[in-house]
Structure 1
Amino acid sequence: MMDLDGVSAQALSDTIGAIYDCALDPQRWPDTCRKVADLCESTGGGICVHDVRHVQNDQLFVFGYQSEFLEKLGSQYAKSPMAAADIVANLGDVNVLSTNHNELVESRFYREVLEPFGLMDMMWFPALRTGARMASMHASRKDKAPRYQQLEIGLFKLLSPHVCRALTISDALDIRTLRSEMLEKTVDALTAGVFLTDRVGRIVYMNLTAERQVKAGASLRILNSRLDPVDPAASAALSIAIERAAADDDDGGSGQHSLAIPNGNGAGYVATLLPVQRGHRRDIVAPFAASVAVFVQDPIDAPLMPGEAFARLHKLTGGELRVLLALAQGLGAREAGDMLGIGEPTVRTHLQHMFAKTQTLRQADLLRLLHTSTPAVRDPRPPV
């Protein structure tokens, strides 16, 4: 096999395959998180689930950390550089703590949370958003290990769309139904449309929800035994995505993992694709002899996380959003700075920038705008 700067193509392909197996069997995540960390030469890693409404930070499938560190991180997460970065970043966008190394080592978060436990660097990406709940995958280095370099960051970026795809599918499905012996009956009970296709996109099975989506006719139809979106651009994109999803199992490709299927009236569906020819996935769908599973859903109806829509609308930076959310708790500039580990002048600088971006003049006006702003419509396009 070819080596990619010391990383074999086989190791990369095996890791991507393991990620996809987790889509239908989440109990495989612990081993897969270790595979991802090993590939990126990390000493720790795992998946975090953040409940923004209840300010909880649950660590799932983590390894390489002391329990005291996980408790500390959970209590300080809202004040960390990761919290605001996760809110404003697109799904799959990789962030690295040491990108701004000087600013990091001067921060209270580094002094109080990372340094006492020997952690030198972390990289992570948001992988799933559902209302006020968000999941992210992270990897870390400790003690005297050097900071992450372009090779490790590049590998993490290469894996991120596959992790996003796997978590999206797991979140859409009641995984327990897929472990039932009565597979066809239980797949029919799913609220997501499930289309199973061969390598060239011919449908070999669709569940009852999928049939209803086709009968509605506004977004999807069947043409020559193939799933065919009404929108021409979406039709072409889906054909390419199915081909690439099938190729994922062959050569570890990184085809588009989700795409919009509009209906021409500002609505429609989001399709997420999963290759099912290898490993545990093949065993689950064996009765259907399928190569690709296409999961089709209405865009999630739950509201965006607090602050997310506002930050995107006004192009706030992560630092500005952290200050805004602190002030929204009723803190003054000095108290917000103390909580975030920055000086009061920095808080006021962020405020001035936010006044300019939101065309407000006072803190009270800014907070009033935050509390009254709601998106008029949901964007049907999935993050890319």
Structure 2
Amino acid sequence: MDQSEELSELISGIYDAALDASLWKEVVGKAARFVGGPGAAIFSKSPVAANGNLHCEYGTDPHYRQLYFDKYLALDPATTGQYFADIGQPIAISDLMPYSDFLETQFYKEWVQPQGLVDFVSAVLDKSVNNAAMFGVFRSEREGIADDEMRARMRLIVPHIRRAVLVSGLIDHKSAEAATFADTLDGLGAGICLVDATGRIVHANVACQVIFDAGDFLSAAGGRIVARDVKINQALQEVFAAAGSGDAAIGTQGIALPLRAADGACYVAHVLPLTSGARHIAGLAYAATAAMFIRRAALDTLSPPEVIARTYKLTPTELNVLLAIVEIGGVPEVAAALGVAETTIKTHLGRLFVKTGAGRQADLVKIVAGFATPLIA
């Protein structure tokens, strides 16, 4: 199987997993092999609360997996930088800090090295004020640190994983196990509409019909979906047409399309192709090429750390040190908590003083406290 065939099969499996959660582990394993690593995971974590959750994994050690969430997440020097990365952008350790510094951390010496790992390339799938959902692939000593080919392969599949994860989150899989496809759609709280390649509506669930009847940001005109916003309407028609050409053709189109109601309420639409894999059966049954999922969107609010980082133009490592200074205290304590040398913390502290205009650590604490939402619960 050449790369194009492998990619096509993988993308098809990714989208099947959006509707059948039992397929995720197998799909994540295939994604790891395609990108070039022994293991991979879909997970979420917070740089503020230093906690997280594993949603799906393949090829990771159960013992070290538990250790990470129990102890080493708080010591992981990559967490803050991963959270602030652009959605969908592959990020390796060397993108966040000098690799030589990473080798000196407690996290590397006690958690990474014992497993024979050398790198981890992640991409943000979605984020909230305090949390980020990510997909990442590990690199072992055999594969070496991340290279351009690995990054390129990540870019090929991350948009599809993101779409599948976002759609999967809208479906109550447990209640849908024994239901037909139409019954599943009709029982969901999100608006769901099946369309053909021309945007013709072939099935709309109750929640979607309510949206159409309101005739606000989306309506049904002549049996086809029409968006009030001209640019969004054009994007929808293009993604519906692309879905008719198969999974790979849809690419990054139709992921989190923004929709705004007249009263200012924000909604988001995700388009899932129905032309390949297990979804093909449902598509044929309804003469549909795509399913559009519509949900109310949360306010796009920056987290307090992100506001601070943007205000003072801090790097992820500098922000990490700043938060640690506020939460933990002095240089020795922060160095011990982050697993690096005191001289390293002093270097970053000096840069923080220059960028923020602070003259001492107490001033840094006051700066952070001056932002609207406290960083420490």
Is the pair's TM-score, using the shorter chain for normalization, greater than 0.5?
A: yes
Shift of 1:159: 0.6
Alignment partner of 1:151: what SS? helix
Shift of 1:345: 1.1
Aligned residue number for residue 39 of structure 2? 44
The whole-number CA distance in structure 2 between the counterparts of 1:189 and 1:135 is: 26
Question: Structure 1, residues 205-250: CA drift from partner, whole Å, max 9, x if none?
Answer: 1111111112222211122322111111111121122223333426
TM-score, normalised with respect to structure 2: 0.86
Shift of 1:301: 5.7
**How is 1:270-309 mapped onto 2 (pairs within 5 angstroms)?**
270-284=268-282, 287-300=285-298, 307-308=305-306
Amino acid at match of 1:79: L
The whole-number CA distance in structure 2 between the counterparts of 1:312 and 1:238 is: 33
Question: Structure 1, residues 339-361: CA drift from partner, whole Å, max 9, x if none?
Answer: 1234331341353255259xx99
Amino acid at match of 1:161: P
Pair 1:346 & 2:347 matched: yes
Contact map agreement 2:192 2:291 (CA 8 A) in 1:
yes
Of residues 8, 23, 42, the one that matches 1:28 is 23
Q: Structure 1 unaligned segments of length 5 or more: list them.
A: 2-6, 375-384
Amino acid at match of 2:25: P
Aligned residue number for residue 159 of structure 1? 157
**How is 1:121-160 mapped onto 2 (pairs within 5 angstroms)?**
121-129=119-127, 132-160=130-158
Pair 1:206 & 2:204 matched: yes
**How is 1:224-303 mapped onto 2 (pairs within 5 angstroms)?**
224-249=222-247, 251=249, 253-263=251-261, 266-284=264-282, 287-300=285-298
> Structure 1 283/311 Cα, relative in aligned 2: closer, same or farther at 3 Å?
farther
Aligned residue number for residue 177 of structure 2? 179
Aligned residue number for residue 4 of structure 1? none
Aligned residue number for residue 85 of structure 1? 81
The whole-number CA distance in structure 1 between the counterparts of 2:62 and 2:279 is: 33
The whole-number CA distance in structure 1 between the counterparts of 2:76 and 2:33 is: 25
Contact map agreement 2:199 2:237 (CA 8 A) in 1:
yes
Shift of 1:203: 0.9
Question: Structure 1, residues 21-73: CA drift from partner, whole Å, max 9, x if none?
Answer: 11111211111111111112211212223366764333343233333322332
Contact map agreement 1:88 1:312 (CA 8 A) in 2:
no
Amino acid at match of 1:351: L
Identity fraction in percent: 26
Alignment partner of 1:29: what SS? helix
Alignment partner of 2:78: what SS? helix
Pair 1:355 & 2:353 matched: no
The whole-number CA distance in structure 1 between the counterparts of 2:128 and 2:24 is: 19
Of residues 44, 51, 57, the one that matches 2:52 is 57
Shift of 1:133: 4.5
The whole-number CA distance in structure 2 between the counterparts of 1:252 and 1:230 is: 22
Aligned residue number for residue 381 of structure 1? none
Q: Structure 2 unaligned segments of length 5 or more: list them.
A: none
Aligned residue number for residue 369 of structure 2? 368
The whole-number CA distance in structure 2 between the counterparts of 1:128 and 1:256 is: 15
Shift of 1:257: 2.0
TM-score, normalised with respect to structure 1: 0.84
Amino acid at match of 1:166: A
Shift of 1:333: 3.8
Amino acid at match of 1:114: V
Aligned residue number for residue 218 of structure 1? 216
Shift of 1:162: 0.7
* Bigger mean CA offset, 282-291 vs 155-164: 282-291
Contact map agreement 1:319 1:350 (CA 8 A) in 2:
no
The whole-number CA distance in structure 2 between the counterparts of 1:284 and 1:350 is: 57
Shift of 1:13: 0.7
**How is 1:88-127 mapped onto 2 (pairs within 5 angstroms)?**
88-99=84-95, 100-127=98-125
Aligned residue number for residue 379 of structure 1? none
Contact map agreement 2:43 2:54 (CA 8 A) in 1:
yes
Alignment partner of 1:307: what SS? helix
Contact map agreement 1:214 1:221 (CA 8 A) in 2:
yes
Shift of 1:261: 1.7
**How is 1:318-337 mapped onto 2 (pairs within 5 angstroms)?**
318-337=316-335
Question: Structure 1, residues 58-105: CA drift from partner, whole Å, max 9, x if none?
Answer: 334323333332233222113213311232122212111244422322
